[in-house]
A and B are shown apart, each in its own frame.
Chain A
Amino acid sequence: MELTLRIDQLVFAYGSRWLFEGFSAQAGAGVTWVQGANGSGKSTLLRLLASALMPRHGSFELAGCRYEAGDRIPPLAWRQQTFWCLSDPPPTPWLTIAECLGFVGGTYAGVDATRVREQVEALGLDKALATPLREASLGQQRKTLLALALALPVKLLLLDEPFNALDAASARYLADTITARAAQGEQVILLTSHVDPHVPVRDTWVLD
Chain B
Amino acid sequence: MLLELLRSLKEALPILAGIAGPIFIASFALLAWAGVPPMLAVTLPWRSGLALWTAQAVLGAWPLWALRRRLLPDAWCVQLRCLPFERHELAASDVIVSAAVLAPLAALYLLSVGVFAWQRPAWWVQAMPWALVSLAASWIAACLLGAVALAWQRSGVVVRAHRAVRAQAPEALLARRPRQFVALLWWPGWRGTLTPGFASLVAGIVAAEGLALAWTLGPWPSVPGAAWALMFSVLLIALTERLQRAMEQHVAALAPWLAALPVSPGWRWRARALVCVPTLIAGAIAVVLVVTTHPWRAWPLAAFALGLVAMPLALNSVPTANRQGHVALWAVCAGLLTAFGSELWN
Contact = CB atoms under 8 A, between A and B. Distances in A.
Contact of B164 (A94, A106, A116): A94
Contacts of B261: 79, 104, 107
Interface string A153-173: 000000000000000000000
Interface residues of B, number: 31
Interface in B90-114: none
B272 interface: no
Contact of A74 (B161, B193, B256, B259): B259
Contacts of A124: none
Contacts of B168: 96, 98-99, 129-130
B176 interface: yes
A99 B165 CA distance: 11
Interface of A: 47, 50-53, 73-74, 76, 79-80, 82, 84, 86, 90-99, 101-109, 113, 116-117, 129-132, 134-135
B256 A135 contact: no
A135 B253 CA distance: 18
A157 to B, nearest CB: 12
Contacts of B253: 91
B183 interface: yes
A9 B164 CA distance: 46
A99 B262 contact: no
A123 B162 CA distance: 24
Interface in B61-118: none
Interface of chain B: mostly helix, strand, loop or mixed: helix
Contacts of B162: 135
Given A102-B176, A103-B177, A130 B170 contact: yes
Contacts, number: 97
Interface string B237-279: 0000000000000000110110111110100000000000000
B188 A94 contact: yes
A183 to B, nearest CB: 27
A79 B262 contact: yes
Contact of A95 (B180, B183, B259, B263): B183
A92 B193 CA distance: 9
Given A92-B183, A96-B170, A113-B175, A107 B165 contact: no
Contact of B170 (A53, A109, A129): A129
B178 A51 contact: no
B174 interface: yes
Nearest to A93: B193
B174 A73 contact: no
Contacts of B176: 102
A55 B189 CA distance: 33
Nearest to A111: B177
A117 B174 contact: yes
B191 interface: yes
A184 B174 CA distance: 27
B196 to A, nearest CB: 15
Interface in B150-173: 161-162, 164-165, 168, 170-171, 173
Contacts of A90: 257
Interface in B261-307: 261-263, 265
Given A94-B164, A94-B193, A98-B168, A80 B174 contact: no
Contact of A135 (B165, B177, B187, B257): B165
B260 A82 contact: yes
20 contacts: A73-B265, A93-B193, A94-B187, A94-B193, A95-B178, A96-B165, A96-B173, A97-B170, A98-B174, A99-B178, A102-B176, A105-B174, A108-B262, A116-B174, A129-B174, A130-B170, A132-B161, A135-B161, A135-B162, A135-B165
A107 B260 contact: no
Nearest to A82: B260
A-B pairs, 10 with minimum CB distance = A129-B170, A106-B177, A50-B260, A98-B170, A52-B256, A79-B262, A94-B193, A130-B168, A103-B183, A102-B177
